Amino acid sequence: MEVMCMVSCGRYTRPHFNLLLLIILQFGLHTVDGVWPLPQTFTSSAERYPLSPQALYFVYGSQSAAQQGCSVLDAAFKRYFSLIFPDYTSGNGVLRFSEGKPFIIEVSVDRDDCEGYPNEDSSERYNLSVCAGQASLNAQTVWGALRGLETFSQLVYEDDFGTYFVNKTEIDDFPWFQFRGILLDTSRHYLPVKAILKTLDAMAYSKFNVFHWHIVDDPSFPYQSSTYPDLSSKGAFHPMTHIYTQSDVRRVISHARLWGIRVLPEFDSPGHTLSWGKGQSDLLTPCYSGSTPSGTFGPVNPVLPSTYKFMGRLFKEVSSVFPDSYIHLGGDEVNFACWKSNPDVRAFMQKMGFGADFTKLEAFYMENIMNITLALNKTSIVWQDVFDYHEQRSSLSVVEVWRDGCYLCEVRRVTKAGLRVILASPWYLDKPGPTHNWARYYTVWPLAFKGQKRTCVLWLVEVVLSAVVFVSIGKAWFPIKYPPETMCPHMRTSHFAFTTPFTSLC
């Protein structure tokens, strides 16, 4: 630290130091090639320019649609200043820096979407040009500008003497995939809001743009519903300390917006709902042992009108709380044993002409739930199980592939049906395996299947942190950060999203 101060304050004046500096300039030229993910086009030279925290300025371009007062970019300027100069203290701070020559980062965007939310159609393309005394960042949207600011922050480096530099650089970049996310399971392992916010920060550093919030499941129901408060008061691990209030949810969504990250909620049913039944009577199916109720419960009861009334009210609330136009409805791993044991369910099956095919009963249920969300102007995402047994596939929109086996075969089937797909299968971080065996996440070719790939949108690659015991956010980010670079069609860049650790949506 003292060395930094001595250099920046000009206290080294001996001729020997000048000679040393000349040697460094001649033989120690530095270029940065560690931008993550690697941009589409990236040209950098050894010509470099010193940066000083007292002489670096973020400004809006004169022709920019967004100007001072833009909440997203104003916050980003402050945030990235601290990221670029992590040791800088303003005012009477301990560290001292020479002012140096001014360096201006001029940001221009074509559209003023400062007060909105990122969505599936948001452009994240940007162009970044760095030359003497300035950097020009141009993007169509503020979300693209955020990605460009992240790239600029990664271009800055510090030499051994505490001086910050950035090299002459030209970058044109855009993501291959619209949906690049992380799935976080907060039902099996409740995470404090602060840990979720740190996860969002880390996502932005790698340009992930979707937080898939698997917020409830069998073990607990931490989402505090204003419409049905008993769901969390009776279904959470603890009704006071292990819940997410409406204020907590708004805080997460607001934080995510400033990073250019969408928040995708998942309320999985009809399976994975044991915690729901603790706070909502008659929602789950009573299981039978012979002709007598066993006292246990199975999936959501699909034969009662009250079920759909409940779901309609719950999803109306969820749709108002979460602004994203997509909602994940789950639909995976439904155990039919309880349905088979229940005489009322069997009678309903015969009435509907389903016979003994319980996949048809589940399809009936999911069709009703998708109609509810469609009426709320939400597009549904479902796990692949729904696609596999659903005969009326025209009602489906996005399918998430998560099962093992020939997952690319499933991707091909989904895209052949004209649907978009999220590939999650290869990237579950909670799967057993040798310690630090991250190689398997790097050897995935998600587009290595026959078919009309160009007719689909490989939307999302998602990292799934489901049954992972979250001891350290940082440890989880080691495998998350790097696989995308190996998964892109051209291998040079891959802006994927991750759902089941990593998922790609076609």
The Cα 257–Cα 136 span in angstroms is 23
Give kind and range of the element (H or E) at residue 113.
Answer: none
Collect all residues with Cβ–Cβ distance below 8 Å to 445 and sequence separation of at least 6. 487
The Cα 309–Cα 70 span in angstroms is 41
Amino acid (1-letter code) at residue 506? C
In Å, what is the CA distance from 2 to each residue of 11, 15, 45?
11, 20, 30
DSSP assignment of 379-437 equals: EEEEEHHHHHH-S-GGG--EEEE--SSSHHHHHHHHHHTT-EEEE-GGGBTTS--STT-
Coil/strand/helix, residue 5: helix
Q: Is position 333 annotated as part of the catalytic site?
A: yes
Choose, from 158, 317, 333, 367, the residue flagged as catalytic. 333
- Cβ burial of 439 (10 Å; 0-12, 13-18, 19+) is exposed
Coil/strand/helix, residue 339: helix
DSSP assignment of 139-150 equals: ESSHHHHHHHHH
In a 13 Å sphere around the CA of 106, the CA atoms on its Cβ side amount to 13
The encoded tokens of residue 164 equal 């910050």
The Cα 171–Cα 39 span in angstroms is 7
DSSP assignment of 189-204 equals: S---HHHHHHHHHHHH
Amino acid (1-letter code) at residue 56? L
The Cα 113–Cα 416 span in angstroms is 35
Under a CB-based contact definition with an 8 Å cutoff, are residues 358 and 285 in contact? no
In Å, what is the CA distance from 229 to each residue of 17, 225, 239, 262?
69, 5, 10, 26
Chain center to CA of 258: 13
What angle do helix axes 193-205 and 246-258 make, rounded to 10 degrees? 20
The residues that are catalytic are 333
